[in-house]
Amino acid sequence: MKLSLGPIPYLWNREYVFDFYARVAEAPVAIVYLGETICSKRRALRLPDWLDIAGRLTAAGKEVVLSTLTLIEAESEVAYLRTIAENGSHAVEANDYAAVNMLEGAMPFVIGPHINVYNLRTLAVLAQAGAKRWVMPVELDRDTLAAIQEQRPAGLETEVIVFGRLPLSFSARCFTARAHNLSKDECNIRCADYPDGMRLHTREGASFLDLNGVQVLSARTYNLLNEIKTLAELKVDILRLIPQRQGMFEIIDALYSVLQGVMPPPVAADILAGCQPAGSCNGYWHGAPGMDQVNHA
C-alpha cells in the first residue's frame, strides 16, 4: 500500500506552504494532492503557484493530483475549476459532479471523498466516465468497503483516509467569519489566523468540532493505524493522510515505517497519539458513531 497526502484543508500562509511541500518532496508519500478545496476566496496561492509546486514534486518522483473545490456555487468558481480540469499535465481529483462533468472522457480522474460513492453501481457509472481511483467517503465502514472491494471495477484503485481530522460538512456560510461577527463577503480572510481551524467546544468544555471557514471538521483525529492489516487484506491501494500543522512529517514517517515492517505499530501509535490534540476516533470504520473510539478486545 502507498501513502498519499490529501490537500491542505486550512489556509496556511504562502511561505509555509512552499516550505511544507519542499519537505513533502523528501518524505515517503507516493501521491500528493494539491490545491484549495474549501473556499474560493483563499488566494494565497494561485494556480501557477500550485503548478510550480506540482512540478517540483513530480521531479522528486511523486504522483501529483490537483484537487478541486467541494462546494461550487459561483460562475467564477466553475471557470477556475475548468482551468484546473484542462491543465493538461496532472491528474485531477473531482470533489463535485461539476468536475466529473468536465473531466468525463477528457482524462482519467480521481473521485474525491466528497463525492458520495456508497455502492458498486455508482462506482461503475463513475469508472465508465473515466475514474481511475476513488477515495472512500468518510462515513463508510469496513463492511461496506469489503463488499465494494469484492466487485470493484477492473483497474480502479481504492484510497482510504487513515489519519487526520475528518471533513464532516460544508456550508454556504463561513463559520470563521461568523465567529468574528463578519459576513462571508467581508470576512477579511480571518481563517488565515487559524492554521488548524477554530476549536468548537461544548458548553461543558469538551472538544467537539473544528471550524474551518465554510467547512466543519471533527476535533478528534481519525486514526486507522490498528487497521492497516485489514486494509491490506481488503486490497486497498492507497492510505491517505490529511495535512495538519502538528507533527505531519513524524506522522508520515511512522506510518511509512509500519507499512515497511520496520516499526512496531505500538511505537507508531505513541508517535501518532502525540499529534492528536483532542484524542482519536475510528467509529465510522466500525459502523459506529464517527466520534467513537472502538478498541479491539
Footprint on this chain of another protein (rule: CB under 8 A): 70-75, 77-78, 81, 96-102, 104, 114, 116, 118-126, 138-140, 143-144, 147-148, 166, 168-175, 178-179, 183-185, 198-206, 208-209, 211, 216, 218, 283-284, 287-291
Q: Strands 215-223 and 207-212: what pairing? A: antiparallel
Least distance CB 12 / another protein (angstroms): 20
Nearest partner of 25 among 67, 64, 52, 56, judged by Cα? 56
Minimum CB distance to another protein smaller for 11 or for 140? 140
Least distance CB 195 / another protein (angstroms): 15
| CA 16/CA 195 separation, integer angstroms | 10
- Report CA torsion sign: 94, 98, 102, 105: positive
Minimum CB distance to another protein smaller for 26 or for 75? 75
Minimum CB distance to another protein smaller for 30 or for 156? 156
Least distance CB 205 / another protein (angstroms): 8
Minimum CB distance to another protein smaller for 42 or for 199? 199
Least distance CB 6 / another protein (angstroms): 16
CA atoms in the 13 A half-sphere facing the CB of 117: 32
- Neighbouring CB atoms inside 10 A of 31's CB total 22
| CA 220/CA 293 separation, integer angstroms | 10
Minimum CB distance to another protein smaller for 52 or for 139? 139
- Report CA torsion sign: 188, 192, 197, 198: negative
Q: Confirm if 160 and 236 have CB atoms less than 8 A apart.
A: yes
Nearest partner of 164 among 90, 272, 237, judged by Cα? 272
Least distance CB 147 / another protein (angstroms): 4
Minimum CB distance to another protein smaller for 74 or for 267? 74
Q: Confirm if 43 and 11 have CB atoms less than 8 A apart.
A: no
Least distance CB 174 / another protein (angstroms): 7
